Structure 1
């Protein structure tokens, strides 16, 4: 196997992780910044550190990505499939970042994998795609919306007799913890997705055998790149999550972050399902906001975000398939 091809795929996978970091940094800290619980740079540094720690908390999602979605391709064709999948995901990340749209880097990657695999005549495990990707894609936002509403309703009831200013100060402090938990969950979920791609590349190259533990250097490289991307910050998307959906206050920010991080931990450890951190925090913000009144949520903005969710996988798959075709014409 051409060592150069392996190094290129690993390099592009790590660059995807970097784009994932700055694209999705808003997921962990937008609410804390918008409520002024944390300053932007402190929030970004905290998120980067917690992303790094979260990447070492498990490997179940990496296994799902590397073994459960497509048949592991072989030879140069396999490297081209992985390269095209990553190009599709990175392209969609950059487009949605430019427009400030909080779409899912995870689903961009999954769409890229499926599109490139189909273009490269590689089997897609549709049962795995349905169970691990499609069903969670629909269920997790509903769970986030419902739980966000319930958690915020419970907070409003428990603190109904509290001094408003004192409660605001308390929740501003509590948001430091909930934002850290959100960033830890982001590292747990998203760093493993890149690990799965790198492991596939190593298996194709014959460097690793399928089913072996993830090499430590792969974990470190993926975690570091995700953290660096997070620290770079995704300010365009941060404004959308922090202000454009609803004007958040500290209790609402705490409720949204607590809801989203709880769902991320549960899906990672119980179901080993790689859910979208973007989907879950956005839907939690909507659910929390609806406790004010339904019209408090800017549903026009929310509608555009949800529409972006539905086109992410097909769009990334199309770009990946096109990239595979161009690569095949050039190098096949």
Structure 2
């Protein structure tokens, strides 16, 4: 409800008032400083406080004197932050699709592509790490493995690569296990897209519209035929075609990530067993071969 106002005043929302007050304060400060930046603060700088710089830099805790270890830790931490950013975009896109908001979903997917590009480029930070350099600090992280990243597992679940067994490593982390279970039991990003196609009258098989969401997605010829109908209408205004191509942008970047991961491991440690107990390259190669949103790829051989 609006507050009571005096003659000549217009009611406004408190948030708008706060934004106006903040803008006025910045203008006053700029005038007071005569265009120069503020140099004196009683406490830590507002930048350090807002970003949490002290906490962030304190997280680079190496266990050896090997310079590559610092690069390895920082790169991995950057990736984890970007996993979280991509997850937020994908969940928002999924929810927009469930709400029949295709333009909103496309906007969030395009934002995720920007984050995915940075994520994929971050592998370049490790490009000069040699096998001998890696070996000098590898024993220091014991059984730690990217396989155990719950940030990455969230993304795989959202893509439809579901597996209840993949929650087991996180059972001792109650909140993490609960979040992963929630993602396991809900439709993923691609599921939401197929449900949208069904509501728009396309012939999506019933088993793809309502199924056991805890199971990994399996390709379907019926789903491919539904997407083929979308591609048959290639007018510029077909928002379902725009959605399909944006999903392809996402899928291509995921595939690129998986292959680059595979190559990075092959270059630094070859076919040695992984630190997390897997067979290393074989595990990564199998994952890299899986198509994301498979029917969007397979229909290209038939349309």
Q: TM-score, normalised by structure 2?
A: 0.29
Q: TM-score, normalised by structure 1?
A: 0.27
Q: Which has the higher contact order (CA 8 A, sep 6+)?
A: 1
* Structure whose alpha-carbon radius of gyration is higher: 2
Which structure has more helix as a fraction of its residues?
Answer: 1
